[in-house]
Structure 1
Amino acid sequence: MFKTTTATLLVIATSFSFLLLSPPPKSYYHSLYISDSLSDNASVSHHLYTLTRLPHVAGSQANAEAAAYVLSIFTSCNIQSHINSYDVLLTYPASRSLTLTRSPDPPINFDLRQEIYDGDPYVDVADEVLPTFHAYAKSGTVTGPVVYVNYGRVEDYASLKEVGVNVTGTLVLARYGQIYRGDIVQNAFQAGAIGALVYTDRKDYGGGGGGARWFPDDEWMPPSGVQVGTVYNGYGDPTTPGWASSDGCERLSLEEVEKGGDVPLIPSLPISAEDGETILRSIGGEVAREDWQGSEDAPTYRVGPGPGIVNLSYTGRQVIETIQNVIGVIEGSEEPDRQVKTKMNLETRMQCFLALECALKSHKISIYIHPIQRQHP
Structure 2
Amino acid sequence: MPRLIEIPLLTHSTASAATTISRSATVRVLLTAFTILLVLHLTISPPSKSTYHSLFLSLSDNATAACHLLALTRRPHVAGTPANAAVAAYVLAALSFSSLPAHSVSYDVFLTYPLRRSLILSPSPRPSPGPTLAFDLVQEIYPGDPYADVAAEVLPTFHAYARSGAAAGPAAYANYGRLEDFAALRAAGVNVTGAVVLARYGKIYRGDIIKNAEDAGAAAAVVFTDAKDYGGGGQGRFPEGPGMPASGVQVGSTYRGSGDPTTPGWASASGCERWSAAEVAASGLMPGIPSLPVSAQDGEAILRTIGGQVAPDDWQGVEGAPLYRLGPGPGFLNLTYIGNETLATIQNVFAVIEGEEEPDRIV
TM range (shorter): 0.7 to 0.9
What CA distance in whole angstroms lies between the structure 1 residues aligned with 2:317 and 2:263?
41
**Aligned equivalents of 1:84, 1:30: Cα separation in 2:** 33
2:85 to 61, 64, 74: 64
Contact 1:185–1:266 (8 Å) recurs in 2? yes
* DSSP 3-state at the match of 2:336: strand
Matching residue within 215, 218, 236 for 2:238 = 215
Q: Say if 1:206 and 1:214, in contact at 8 Å, map to a contact too.
A: yes
Pair 1:144-2:169 in alignment: yes
Which residue type is aligned with residue 255 of structure 2?
Answer: Y
Structure 2: unaligned runs, 5 residues or longer: 1-43
CA distance in 1, matches of 2:250, 2:307: 26
1:31 counterpart = 2:51: yes
- The equivalent position to 2:257 in structure 1, one of 234, 240, 243, is 234
**Contact (CA 8 Å) 1:26, 1:333: kept in 2 or not?**
no
Match of 1:144, as an amino acid? Answer: G
Question: How far apart in 1 are the matches of 2:45 and 2:241?
Answer: 45
Greater gyration radius:
2
CA contact under 8 A between 1:92 and 1:316: conserved in structure 2? yes
Structure 1 Cα separation of the partners of residues 248 and 45 of structure 2: 48
Aligned residues: 315
Q: 1:290 aligns with which of 305, 313, 324?
A: 313
State the shift of 1:33 in Å.
Answer: 4.4
Unaligned runs of 5+ residues in structure 1 are 1-23, 341-377
Alignment-derived partner of residue 349 in structure 2:
326
Residue in 2 aligned with 1:18? none
Contact 2:235–2:242 under 8 Å retained in 1: no
What root-mean-square deviation, in Å, do the aligned CA atoms of Structure 1 and Structure 2 show?
Answer: 1.6
Equivalent of residue 111 in structure 2, options 83, 90, 103: 90
What is the Cα deviation at residue 261 of structure 1? 0.7
Matches within 5 A, 1:1-377: 26-27=46-47, 31-35=51-55, 36-102=57-123, 103-208=128-233, 212-340=235-363
Q: Secondary structure at the match of 1:198?
A: strand
Q: Which amino acid aligns with 1:298?
A: A
Distance in 2 between the 1:277 and 1:84 partners? 44
TM-score normalised by the chain length of structure 1: 0.81
Deviation of 1:254 after TM superposition, in Å, equals: 1.4
SS in 2 for 1:159: helix
The range that moved more, 102-111 or 30-39, is 30-39
1:47 CA drift (Å): 0.6
Identity of aligned residues (%): 61
1:77 Cα offset (Å)? 1.5
What CA distance in whole angstroms lies between the structure 1 residues aligned with 2:229 and 2:219?
Answer: 26
Instruction: Compare the two structures and name the one with the higher helix fraction.
Output: 2
1-structure distance, mates of 2:47, 2:338 = 55
Distance in 2 of aligned mates of 1:186 and 1:30: 53
TM-score of the two chains, using structure 2 as the length reference: 0.84
Give the secondary structure class of the aligned counterpart of 1:92: strand
Q: Which moved more, 1:233-242 or 1:24-33?
A: 24-33
Deviation at 1:294, TM superposition (A): 0.3
| Secondary structure of residue in 2 paired with 1:314 | strand
Give the direction of change, closer, same or farther, for the CA distance of 1:159–1:296 in structure 2 (3 Å limit).
same
1:54 is matched by which residue type in structure 2? R
Paired AA for residue 34 in structure 1: S
- CA deviation digits over 1:306-364, x for unaligned, max 9? 00000000000011001111111111123313443xxxxxxxxxxxxxxxxxxxxxxxx
Letter in 2 for 1:61: P
- CA change 1:237–1:29 in 2 (3 A) is farther
In structure 1, C-alpha distance between the alignment counterparts of 2:287 and 2:169, rounded to whole Å: 18
- Secondary structure of 2:169's aligned partner: strand
Structure with greater proportional strand content: 1
Query: Bigger relative contact order, structure 1 or 2, given CA contacts below 8 A and separation 6+?
Result: 1
